[in-house]
Structures are given as structure tokens and as C-alpha cells.
Amino acid sequence: MENIERYKRKYAFGEDYGTSEYKFGPVAEKPDVIENRGFIIDKKSIMFKLIGIDKEIIVGPEVAMYLGSREDISRYLIYPMKDGLVDVDDATAWKIIYEITKYGLLKYMPRNDSNFKGFYVTAALSAIAPKYMFKKIFDIHRKIDEEFGVVKAVTIIPQPLAVAIAQKSVTCIVVESGHGNTQITPISRYPIRRAIVSLNRGGAEANAITAEILKDCGYGDLVREEKLVRMVKESIGLVPRDLDKAIKIAKDNIKRFRAVFKVPGTTTVIDLGENSWMRFLIGEIAFNPEHEIFESYYRRGMPRPKDTVLGDETLPGTIDIAQAIIKSAEKTPLELQPYLYRKIILSGGNFAWRVPAEFKDVAVSSEEKVKYMLELKGIKDSVVELTKDPQFSVWKGCIVWSMFVPDDYEWSWDELEGWYKWR
């Protein structure tokens, strides 16, 4: 018994299925990361036949080499998840998830290690993932194991719970904001399901406004490359404490706030010039896409986040983050609420905004922004913290969970806990 637990700690493996990135790997400081996408090989292509490619789907860093090969990239380059979810009958998307999972497990499968009998895998999915996603993920691991002997057991946990585990916190509200979705989850030992608010938005919306700004500033030809837009966003985007004040100060001090971005490895320079105050819109939208300033962008065609449901209520997709946190907390017992407000944990890449020292008077970190917004709504004594390495907290929680759940605890569809095994 002692031995199997030791084995499990050694061969723990974490997997975080994100809308933009798949984070994976065995016990380490940080996970490995690849984009959650696949390039579909066109079987009819003579060129691919000629060079002897017999794969159906390419995943991982190799994808980059295929991008130039088609004009109509969007037909062949597929991101299988939308807002953290995959449709049950989207066969192509599930094939990509299978390939990505296989890529990750095989990359770290120990070679020449006779002790290795497969990883103990903890996979993290969105807190609102339906049961068919659990089943599919189990099937995928089972199939990969049958082919390669690389998985001994697998379990699945909700992403926000993984964050709480990584932070060693049992009573808290986790706000996990990635690329495609933002999950607000009160936790009291286990996620309180009826109080989960899952917003259909994340870093993708900040990319969208960045693209609009680039178009308005004369860089329309650059916005087709999503990766470039993302780089610009992360480099020049700022989160204002108060948007209206920040815009005023920036307009009065154009030189100081001037946003310039040099595209690495090229001669292209992006310069927002007089419009540099717009860099504050990029950070604001991550927290309050309902600000009236965004209306004109929605009217011009920037997608408005889809509405979301909380019990029998419909919340607008643009609801500001503080209001959404309050809505969620208010679905929990009154007695619990003050404890929840005293431990609000932010994680996910969409909270990783930089705060350059020279802008400290107007730009703030995500914790400060959320605390300030809660204060405006009457929640005075909240304690908000940002996890270290916010993009990786879910994965860290997965590793801890793999080590912690005892080997003999079997998967239960009622509890949604335990190890799923087939051998």
C-alpha cells in the first residue's frame, strides 16, 4: 500500500484543458504548454502525399510550419474548445483533444524505466462541463493507455477547485479567467454548483478590442494574425483603476502614455500616437465590458459576450466582474458570505496584467481592480489575491490532487471524485 502511494506521487500528471492553451506535465515547477488546436491535413493534397505525411491531424509546435500552406487557414486550423466546452457530437474537435492528450502523455512517458506502469492523471475541466465531457475524457485516456500503456488511472476536477487546492484553501471564491471563459465559483470544501457563474468571456474579448483599436489606428492589415494581436494586447494593455479618469490623464499627457510596440523579429512598429489613451480600454474590458464606451464597438460588430444563466436568472454577458461575484456569493448561505468575500482568489491568464512602475498612479493590478470595483458596490472589506503564475494554478492543483487522492478511492459518478480505472 505504502508503495503504491509512493508510486502515485512519483508519477502524478496534471492536465488543464484551456480554450487557448493545454497545460500538461508531470511533477515540476511549471507545466509544459501547447496551444489547444489542431491542423487538419487535407487527405486530398498531393503535396502532403508527396512528402509522405500520413497523419490526419497535427498538434503541438509543429503546427506553425503548416500555417502558410493554406490560404483558408481557419478551415484547417481548429481550436476545439469554445468557452471551455466541446460539443458532444463535434467529432473533429474530439479527435484534436485526443491528439493533444496523446502528445502530452507520450512526451513525458519515461523510457527505459521498468517501474513505470502509467501516470496517475488529474485532468481539469470547466466547472460547468457536462457529464458527457467527463465520459469522453475518460475514454480518450483509456484508448491512449490501451495503445501505449501510459495511464494507470485518471480523475477529473473542476478548474476552480484545482485553483483552491493549489492555494490550499477550502472556503473561498475562485475567479478563474482564461482566454475563453471566466468562472466564478464559491467553494466551501467543494464548489457550490448552484452558485457558479460562468461568463462567456475572457482574454479573447481583450484581443477583440485590441484588434478594433489597431484597425482604427491604421494597422488593419495586422489584425488577421491572432497571435500578434495577443502580443500587442499583453504588451500595451493597462488596467485603469477608474477608466474615465485614466482616459483624461492619458489624453492630457500623450507623450507619457504613448503606446509603441515593435513586432519581434520584424521591422514593423505599431504606434498608437494620439490614440494611446485607448490602451486603457484593453484592460478595462476584462473587468467591465458593460462600460458605455464599448457600446459603439459592439454596434460596429465587435462580438458581445453571450448571456449566461445563474439558476433561474439570466445575467447579461457583459455584467461587470464585481457584480457577477456578488451575484454568485448571494446564492450561498448568508452566514457563509462574509468568509467568501474575505478570500477571493483570482487566477487565469486574463488576470496577469502588467503594472509598469511609471503608470502606478492610474494603472492597477487585477487584485486592486476587483477590490476597488467591489468597494463601489458596497463590499468594503474584501480580501482579493492573485495566484503566483496565474496561468498555471489549475495545473498545479491537478498535480496536488493526483498525489493526494488515495489509489483505492474509486471514481463515483455521484460524488464526481476518485480514480477511474480499467486495468
**Site for Mg ion, rule CB under 5 A:** 18, 178
Shortest Å distance, C-beta 198 to ligand ATP: 10
- Is 35 in contact with 49 (CB distance < 8 Å)? no
Shortest Å distance, C-beta 166 to ligand ATP: 13
Shortest Å distance, C-beta 249 to Mg ion: 33
Closest CA to 22 of 42, 6, 44, 38: 38
* C-beta closer to ligand ATP: residue 33 or 405: 33
* C-beta closer to ligand ATP: residue 15 or 145: 15
d(CA 279, CA 244): 13
d(CA 76, CA 39): 6
Q: Do strands 344-347 and 171-177 pair parallel, antiparallel, or not at all (unpaired)?
A: parallel
* C-beta closer to Mg ion: residue 382 or 391: 391
d(CA 243, CA 187): 31
d(CA 191, CA 158): 8
Specify the 3-state DSSP secondary structure of 367. helix
HSE of 291 in the Cβ direction (CA atoms, 13 Å)?
Answer: 19
- List alpha helices for 149-258, DSSP H: 159-166, 203-216, 226-236, 243-252, 254-257
* C-beta closer to ligand ATP: residue 172 or 229: 229
* C-beta closer to ligand ATP: residue 153 or 229: 229
Spacing of C-alpha 342 from chain mean position: 24
Shortest Å distance, C-beta 174 to ligand ATP: 12
- Is 289 in contact with 318 (CB distance < 8 Å)? yes
* C-beta closer to ligand ATP: residue 167 or 350: 350
- Is 247 in contact with 280 (CB distance < 8 Å)? yes
Shortest Å distance, C-beta 119 to ligand ATP: 21
Backbone angles phi, psi at 12, to 5 degrees: -70, 145
* C-beta closer to ligand ATP: residue 208 or 379: 208
Shortest Å distance, C-beta 355 to ligand ATP: 10
Shortest Å distance, C-beta 108 to ligand ATP: 19
Contact of residue 353 among ligand ATP, Mg ion, none (CB under 5-8 Å per partner type): ligand ATP
d(CA 136, CA 100): 14
Q: Where do contacts with ligand ATP occur on this chain (CB under 6 A)?
A: 18-21, 84, 178-181, 202-203, 230, 234, 237, 348-350, 352-354, 391
Residue owning grid cell 481583450: 206
d(CA 325, CA 185): 9
Shortest Å distance, C-beta 261 to ligand ATP: 13
Q: What angle do CA 263, 389, 406 make, to 5 degrees?
A: 140
Encoded amino acid at 168, one letter: K
Angle, helices 203-216 vs 226-236, to 10°: value is 90
Contact of residue 26 among Mg ion, ligand ATP, none (CB under 5-8 Å per partner type): none
Contact of residue 352 among Mg ion, ligand ATP, none (CB under 5-8 Å per partner type): ligand ATP
Shortest Å distance, C-beta 6 to ligand ATP: 31
Contact of residue 14 among Mg ion, ligand ATP, none (CB under 5-8 Å per partner type): none
Q: Which residue is nearest to ligand ATP (CB)?
A: 203
* C-beta closer to Mg ion: residue 15 or 145: 15
* C-beta closer to ligand ATP: residue 118 or 289: 289
Contact of residue 21 among ligand ATP, Mg ion, none (CB under 5-8 Å per partner type): ligand ATP
- Is 393 in contact with 399 (CB distance < 8 Å)? no
Contact of residue 328 among Mg ion, ligand ATP, none (CB under 5-8 Å per partner type): none
Contact of residue 241 among Mg ion, ligand ATP, none (CB under 5-8 Å per partner type): none
Contact of residue 38 among Mg ion, ligand ATP, none (CB under 5-8 Å per partner type): none
d(CA 130, CA 257): 45
Contact of residue 25 among ligand ATP, Mg ion, none (CB under 5-8 Å per partner type): none
d(CA 28, CA 254): 44
Contact of residue 181 among ligand ATP, Mg ion, none (CB under 5-8 Å per partner type): ligand ATP
* C-beta closer to ligand ATP: residue 26 or 349: 349
Shortest Å distance, C-beta 41 to ligand ATP: 24
Element (H, E) at 310: strand 308-310
